[in-house]
Amino acid sequence: MQRGGVSGIVRRACRRAGIAEVGPHRLRHTLACDLISAGAGLPEIGDLLRHRGLTSTAIYARVGVDTLRQLALPWPGGEG
């Protein structure tokens, strides 16, 4: 398979399904974020995505600032 083979397959499938085109990176990112939301850990997600290291997995499993705000503790001495 050539370098762009997977991208082409995913984009053609999107066109056939009548949805906006996305690439394979978007699919992997969405899967990783959904797994994080479901409580999976980075090692399990990395195994599923077949990553060699957790750094690569962390890139795919990153979450938005709004999600992180829900986890943040109040600043000591700060306002409510």
The pTM assigned to this predicted structure is 0.66
- Residue 33, classed as helix, strand or coil, is helix
pLDDT at 36: 87
pLDDT at 59: 84
